[in-house]
Structure 1
Amino acid sequence: MDAPSATRSELLARRRRANLAVQGRDLLQDKRTALVRAFQARSTSLLQRLEELARDAAQAHRRLDRARAELGTAAVESASFAAAGRIGVRLTDSAVAGVVVVDAEHAEVRRAPGARGYETTLVDPHVDAAADAFEEEVDALLDLAALELTVRRLAEEIARTTRQVNGLEHVVIPRLRGEARRIALALDEREREEIARLKRARTQARRRTQARSRSSR
């Protein structure tokens, strides 16, 4: 990179850019603080709900094992095939601390026993109990998926903002301030040299005047 010209305009330009970089760093630090708050709140909620999901999943598998023990694997699988279906999911955008994230809205997962496609009078209540538990698990999983995506997006943005802050704090601002100091020193040195030159010129002029005055006597 070429050295900046040691001019008054360059000095003012470097100082102005340094001030703008400081303002940008402060704004990014404020943004990072807001992102960290949002991340902490959502990550705490995510961990809690993951723990709840783990407990619900364990209960669902216990109910499924009970149904298999009572009816046999073939009967349970037959009921599961009849209950298969689709779940509508709609993605929407929203802003969290200034960062665009994706939210997922889904159709109701849990169904009444009569809406699962099999004849309820021919199916043991253990199958309905297992179906209830797994539908609740799927419902929680869909909600958690959107929350986890948001947490990951916030974490990525925090890392990116931190890199920007560090770049301004440790590279851009010191460089601009250093250039401004070097320009100021060069200008000061140039001013001192100009003052010394003027003093020498005045001294020489005074001596010539005195010499002419003596020679004219």
Structure 2
Amino acid sequence: MARLNVNPTRMVMSKLKGQLKVAIKGHKLMKDKRDELMRIFLELAREIKALREEVEPMLEEVYGSFSVARAVMTPEMLEEALMYPKQSVKLVAEEKNVMSIDVPSFDFEQENTQTGSVYPYGFATTSGELDKSIEKLSILFPKLLQLAGMEKEAMLIADEIEKTRRRVNALEYVKIPNYKETIKYIKMKLDENERGNQTRLMKVKDMMLKENIEQQREKDAEMLAQMAE
């Protein structure tokens, strides 16, 4: 804990008291923000965990079905089957504000959709496992997009929690103690100066009183001398 290098005057002390008041208020607001961000982060982490537990088995099934399809189909047949998709997807990225943090929000729009089927090929030369893979992937895609947005949001909130924590610690362990120590030092110096001034005034008063007494004695002596004559 170190005091600030300032002149020990009443004006400086008044200014520091104002800054201390602001720092204490800011510290409380920062702590409240940190606690609220922690609450949001933990709630989001639980949602991410639940969604991951739902998505990962489905994704394993997609990879498994596609691996079987690759094993039973030639690379040329597989490439030809997937060359011209019936559906195209346009990603829509927006932002939302969470405790002054701009976090991404992902959505998608399907374009050029041919209703009735998501399969861009005929069934004569393809494997049923490829059908399963594409069908499961079309169901899984919105959940993957949602998971990506939630995980990015969690990363940004975690970064903001760390920044807020550092600010709280800086105020709590550096700024506020420094202000308090400096105000205490200035008050001590002002009290010391005031005591010194009082001591000097008392000495001056004693000197003046002594001088007045001596002058009075001289006057009394002169009057006695005149009366004796």
TM-score over 0.5 for the pair? yes
Code of the aligned partner of 1:27: L
The CA distance in 2 between the partners of 1:73 and 1:94, in whole Å, is 43
The answer for the alignment partner of 2:52 in structure 1 is 50
Asked if the contact 1:113–1:120 (Cα under 8 Å) also holds between the matched residues in 2, the reply is no
Unaligned residue ranges in structure 2 (runs of 5+)? 221-229
Unaligned residue ranges in structure 1 (runs of 5+)? none
Distance 1:99 1:193, change over 3 A: same
Q: Aligned runs of 1:25-174 on 2, under 5 Å?
A: 25-68=27-70, 71=73, 74-83=76-85, 86-108=88-110, 114-120=117-123, 123-174=126-177
Give the length in aligned residue pairs: 217
The answer for the alignment partner of 1:207 in structure 2 is 210
Query: Does 1:185 find its partner at 2:188?
Result: yes
The CA distance in 2 between the partners of 1:49 and 1:83, in whole Å, is 28
The CA distance in 1 between the partners of 2:163 and 2:86, in whole Å, is 42
The CA distance in 2 between the partners of 1:31 and 1:46, in whole Å, is 22
The answer for the alignment partner of 1:4 in structure 2 is 6
The CA distance in 1 between the partners of 2:77 and 2:212, in whole Å, is 124
Percent identity reads 22
The CA distance in 2 between the partners of 1:85 and 1:41, in whole Å, is 35
TM-score, L = length of structure 2: 0.84
The answer for the alignment partner of 1:176 in structure 2 is 179
Deviation digits for residues 196-216 of structure 1, max 9, x if unmatched? Answer: 111111111111111111122
Code of the aligned partner of 1:6: P
The structure with more helix, counted as a fraction of residues = 1
- Greater Cα offset, 186-195 or 168-177: 168-177
The CA distance in 2 between the partners of 1:185 and 1:196, in whole Å, is 16
TM-score, L = length of structure 1: 0.88
Asked if the contact 1:43–1:151 (Cα under 8 Å) also holds between the matched residues in 2, the reply is yes
The CA distance in 1 between the partners of 2:119 and 2:107, in whole Å, is 22
Asked if the contact 2:103–2:153 (Cα under 8 Å) also holds between the matched residues in 1, the reply is yes
When Rg is computed on C-alpha atoms for both structures, the one with the higher figure is: 2
Deviation digits for residues 119-177 of structure 1, max 9, x if unmatched? Answer: 35664543321111222333322211111110000000001111111111111111111
